[in-house]
A = this chain, B = another copy of it.
Amino acid sequence: MAREWILTDTTKGIWQDSFEVTGRDLGLSGPAEKIAVRKRTLQGGVQQGVDLIEVDNGALKLLIVPTRGMGLWRGEYKGIRLGWDSPVRGPVHPSFVNLPERGGLGWLYGFDEWMCRCGLDSNGAPGTDVVLDNNGNPTEVQVTLHGRIANIPAHYVAVSIQTEPPYAIEVEGHVDETMMFGPHLELRSRIRTAPGANYVDIEDRITNCRAVEGELELLYHCNFGTPLLEAGAHLVAPIKEMAPRDARATEGVDHFNTYLAPTPGYIEQVYWYELLADPKTHLTVAMLRNAAGDLGCAIRWDIRRLPYFTQWKNTAGQEDGYVTGLEPGTNLPNTRKFERERGRVIKLSPGQTYTAAIRMEVLDSTQAVRSVETEIERLQSQQAPVLHRAPVAKYSPV
């Protein structure tokens, strides 16, 4: 049994300017009594017109942004901030983001989320690529950083709450990445938690709506600043193979899994990974934990759906975005052209749907962190990690 509220449905002309429902409103008791879902529209600055949905499960608060492709702006678990301080103060309305600007880096005018998707037709570095034009002729176009999905507003948004255990709280959003004579990929995302839970599940279905074959690149850009990220914080993951992206990452390869304090002038270091997973469930887990090991966030996913993992280390000055990204993806965020050559771009037949999901789980005790470390050690025990000390051709352009 569940209650459902449609907040947006452009097809039917449905729109709720604001919305609030609480567990108490629904007559729920116990931990479910404290839950709440609220929607409001931001005003002023570059936030003008951005819809924000707050999900509060009593312990974990999520701020979901339908206006920015169903990303998660920020979270908070029992007072622990989830997210980071970008020099961009968003969430930024897409009308203030010009993707082709600055050599295809315009996406960076809007980037400040805890979790945003990169894709769907392409993600990764900007560059040129050859596509078919309306005349069926190959034509070279500029592909911009990290694609379009994070700057497209959802045309359908619904909230549902189960009125019996486990009292799942879910926000569903549909986002259409489309154009005439081009890619048409529809994302249907379900973002779900439960009363008192320390996790959020993001379950996505992406459909190629075309009558012809389409491509897909999907990456979950999960970003953390303080307090999880700090001097001595660790990335813990069951590594099958790791390689630095480039010369700059090579410089830091001896310390790839630990982090510096905010370091003004620090240039990003990026490491590419394939991870090990449970042989039966195909689930893997990567964790960022603080120096003391009493705080962390684990991300879990099925490596059959998201076989590549990117670690973005950007321990620059606090003012410039002190942040690390943990990024499960269908590919590595190189240019799409490079990824296609390496066989890492998904092909979707007409009407085909690709599913992917991640769970983000907050760990707020030594025991909880240690438990995930043990789990990762168990996965790692399948084989010794292959740690390249320099870029490798299969992962990076030479």
Contacts and interface: CB of A to CB of B under 8 A. Distances in A.
Interface of A: 8-11, 13-15, 42-49, 86-89, 94-96, 98-103, 105, 108-109, 111-112, 133-136, 139-142, 152-157, 176, 178-182, 184, 209-212, 246, 248, 262, 264-265, 267-268, 316-321, 350-351
B103 A176 contact: no
Contacts of A99: 98, 101
Give the top 3 A-B pairs by smallest Cβ distance, nearest first. Answer: A211-B317, A45-B155, A211-B264
A46 B153 contact: yes
Nearest to A263: B211
Contact of A141 (B95, B103, B157, B264): B103
B267 A209 contact: no
A108 B9 contact: no
A184 B43 CA distance: 22
A178 B87 contact: yes
A209 B153 CA distance: 30
A212 B318 CA distance: 11
A211 B13 CA distance: 45
A142 B180 contact: no
Nearest to A312: B134
Contact of A44 (B8, B46, B109, B135): B8
A114 to B, nearest CB: 14
B176 A89 contact: yes
B212 A140 contact: no
A174 to B, nearest CB: 9
A355 to B, nearest CB: 20
Given A100-B98, A211-B317, A318-B211, A153 B44 contact: yes
A182 B110 CA distance: 12
Contacts of A94: 95-96
A98 B142 CA distance: 13
A158 to B, nearest CB: 12
A142 B181 contact: no
B212 A180 contact: no
A149 B156 CA distance: 29
A282 to B, nearest CB: 32
B317 A210 contact: yes
Contacts of A211: 262, 264-265, 316-320
